[in-house]
Amino acid sequence: MAKKLGRREFLNRSATIGLSAVLGKTLVSGLTGGPSFAAAADKVDIAVVSGTDYGAMTAKAVELIGGIGKFIRPNSRILLIPNVQSKNPGTYTKPEIFRSVIRMCREAGAKEIACLSYLTPQHWEGAGLDKIVREENITLKLIPREDIHYRPVPIPGAGALPEARIMTEFFNYDAFINMPVTKDHAGNKFTGTLKNLMALNSPSLNRSAFHKLNWKTDPNDIAHLDACIVDLNLALQPALNIVDATEIITTNGPMGPGDLIKPMKVIAGLDRVAVDAFCAGILGLKSEEIGTIRLAYLKKIGEIDLKKLAVKEVKV
């Protein structure tokens, strides 16, 4: 596994020998997962918090895995990547969760907290997150969809997506927190932390390269979509994943409307594969049968076997 580079080291090296030369098997974009900490005896890999106060649940989940200061540095510029794809119930990241993460980042000393999105103001309004942006006084940058606003990032070892195209503005930040809602998906039946990173990739590439003609029905086209999602995750590494599993759709995803269940849970963890494996179980799915999770495990992005990890569940 390639050594993870700190931002300063990454920028120094990429300036002299080029981006693709410093990106190894587990590619990072210069946005590493924050400072390293020695594993403690009571280390928690995945925190699962149930309750009715979404903000308090989010804060508790992050506390259980070591606190926000374990994942971001003071005076850093932090990106938050919530899901605002649809306004239908169970399809977007809850505003209370979004607000809680903003406040934790601020308390940890973040210099700037921002969101980048190629979706419209109406998407943010429909999800209720535009109000949080204004009230918490953070930055929302709406990125045009044209490819000129996205930087090519080669992906060595990719199976289906040899090159990502990441928002150029993304490279001005020090770390990002991945904040999906887990839910059904029309093609591969599941969306979570791995798929949410498509929010940083060129929308034209998402459409043209990821989605073949029969991506909802043809097993080969679905497998191709899975492979592209996993390859993208080789190029991007969140500092932390915080998943909304409070109210989620189990049909007609990812846009809805669909059948709703209300697990009333917030899940936090660093390992995208493990977090998605846990969330798949919430939807009644077997993680080894979900293409993105299985392939990401085979690509060594994370651990699929939850028995090998410390999972802590509490109620608040």
Six token digits for residue 308: 């090998």
pLDDT at position 36 over 60? no
pLDDT at 281: 96
Residues 6 or more apart in contact with residue 17 via CB below 8 angstroms:
none
- Point out the least confidently predicted range of 2-16, 55-69, 188-202, 220-234: 2-16
Q: What integer is the mean pLDDT of 272-298?
A: 97
Rounded Cα distance, 232 and 192, in Å: 14
pLDDT at 187: 84
CATH number assigned to the domain with residue range 28-315, chosen from the 4 options 3.40.50.970, 3.40.50.11440, 3.90.1170.10, 3.40.190.10: 3.40.50.11440
- Cα of 185 vs its chain's centroid, Å: 16
Backbone angles phi, psi at 134, to 5 degrees: -70, -50
CB atoms within 10 A of CB 221: 17
pLDDT at position 10 over 70? no
Rounded Cα distance, 245 and 267, in Å: 7
pLDDT at position 82 over 50? yes
Q: What integer is the mean pLDDT of 245-254?
A: 93
- Point out the least confidently predicted range of 14-28, 33-47, 112-126, 209-223: 14-28
pLDDT at 186: 86
The distance between the two most distant Cα atoms of the chain, rounded to a whole number of Å, is: 52
Six token digits for residue 51: 């309750």
pLDDT at 185: 85
Residues in the chain: 316
The single-letter code of the amino acid at 45 is D
137 burial via Cβ count (<10 Å: 0-12, 13-18, 19+):
exposed
| Pure H helices in the chain | 7-17, 19-22, 54-64, 95-107, 121-126, 129-136, 193-196, 203-205, 219-235, 272-282, 291-298
Position 2 confidence tier, pLDDT thresholds 50, 70, 90: very low
Rounded Cα distance, 96 and 38, in Å: 31
CB atoms within 10 A of CB 78: 28
Whether the CB-CB separation of 277 and 254 falls below 8 Å is answered with no
Global pTM? 0.88
pLDDT at position 23 over 50? no
Listed residue (273, 287, 255, 264) closest to 183, CA to CA: 255
What percentage of the chain carries pLDDT values higher than 70?
Answer: 87
pLDDT at position 7 over 70? no
Domain range summary for the chain, segments of one domain joined by +:
28-315
pLDDT at 188: 84
pLDDT at position 26 over 60? no
SS (H, E, C) 10-66: HHHHHHHHCHHHHCCCCCCCCCCCCCCCCCCCCCCCEEEEECCCHHHHHHHHHHHCC
Tell me how far CA of residue 299 lies from CA of 118, 148, 195, 230, 290, in angstroms: 28, 30, 15, 8, 14
